[in-house]
Amino acid sequence: MNPRDECSECGGKTIFQTEVVARGPYGPNLLPGLGSFWTPPKFEIYICRECGHCRFFVPERMLPQIETSGRYSRL
């Protein structure tokens, strides 16, 4: 089962999803090196309706940029 389909805290299956920009004019750049001027980086946010637990994911389409951006170190 996809971890986005079930709440990791309570096991609830009523999950809502949206995307938000990961940087703004007045806040920090939360995903440095990802996206571009015309395509800002985004987070996918998943919220459990049962308990309110919230999870943030980088969209799959942006994952390849993590290795090429030069801003992230592999652990």
pTM, two decimal places: 0.79
Look at residue 3 in the predicted model and tell me its pLDDT: 63
Taking the C-alpha atoms of residue 28 and residue 11, their distance in angstroms, rounded to an integer, is 32
Query: Which of 32, 61, 26 is CA-nearest to residue 44?
Result: 61
Look at residue 66 in the predicted model and tell me its pLDDT: 93
* Segment 5-40, tens digit of pLDDT: 899 999 999 999 999 999 877 888 899 999 888 888
The residue whose two tokens read 């980088």 is: 58
Is residue 68 over pLDDT 70? yes
Is residue 41 over pLDDT 80? yes
Is residue 49 over pLDDT 60? yes
